[in-house]
Amino acid sequence: MKVVVLTGAGMSAESGISTFRDNGGLWEQYRVEDVATPEGWARNPQLVTDFYNVRRRELLGTEPCLGHRLVASLEDIYPDVSVITQNVDNLHERAGSSHVVHLHGELMKVTSSISPNDPRYIQTLSPEHVEVKMGELAADGSQLRPFIVWFGEPVPQIETATELCSQADIFIVIGTSLNVYPAAGLTYYVPQKASIYLIDPKPVKWNSSHPFRHIMKGASEGMQELLSIIRNS
């Protein structure tokens, strides 16, 4: 039995992580073009570096929510659980999930600004050193940049995520509107036989013909209900 969990911003919002698209989100405070594109990096790497330094400091002050921990607890029930997340924080790992695929990169990592996806240049920052300074270089001599998939860049993990979704027996979506591609397109690869659960307090457009069960609650309450369903089934 293979379980695949797809999580979005609503998952980490319960931990106090600022979302980007909701009212009051980060995109109302910063222009996407300035802090989340290769062009923004080229124009003003200092601004981009400062933006992600602040995001990392915020992350250090947060803890996994109950929802993160309940997702991790699925591994106590099923032998094969994978989490695919659109979030760049490390809260799933800190909650105990052992197999996490990050579609949009990882906030606590930095990499080469010339070859960002070359594993030789990817570094994990320690909690004691989360602030990157201009002049700090990757092993290839280029300025360190965030290990984040910016708008306009390819998503290196999408093929891995697609393969996982195509093998799912149980598919769980938590805290994502399914409006952002390519992540939203993963739903098309879920097998017809799979049991599908959507956890979100808002209406979600499930862009597939598959039947699904929508638990209209937040991540933590929704996972509590889902675990009750699973244990009683």
95: Cβ contacts below 8 Å, ≥ 6 apart: 64, 68, 69, 71, 72
Low-confidence ranges of the chain (pLDDT < 70): 18-29, 207-208
Q: What is the pLDDT of residue 31?
A: 83
Q: What is the pLDDT of residue 161?
A: 97
Q: What is the pLDDT of residue 207?
A: 62
Q: What is the pLDDT of residues 114-170, one digit of tens each?
A: 999 999 999 999 999 999 999 999 999 999 999 999 999 999 999 999 999 999 999
φ and ψ of 214, to 5 deg:
-100, 115
Instruction: Give the residue numbers annotated as catalytic, written as ranges.
Output: 104
Q: What is the pLDDT of residue 141?
A: 97
Structural domains in the chain plus CATH codes: 1-17+64-104+155-233 (3.40.50.1220), 21-61+109-148 (3.30.1600.10)
pLDDT, mean over the chain? 91
Peptide bond into 79 cis (omega under 30): no
By the 8 A CB rule, do 138 and 163 touch?
no
Rg (CA), the chain: 18
Helical H segments across 62-117, by residue range: 66-73, 91-95
H-run or E-run covering 123: strand 123-124
Q: What is the pLDDT of residue 22?
A: 46
Q: What is the pLDDT of residue 24?
A: 47
How far is residue 220's CA from residue 222's CA, in Å, rounded to a whole number?
5
pTM exceeds 0.85: yes
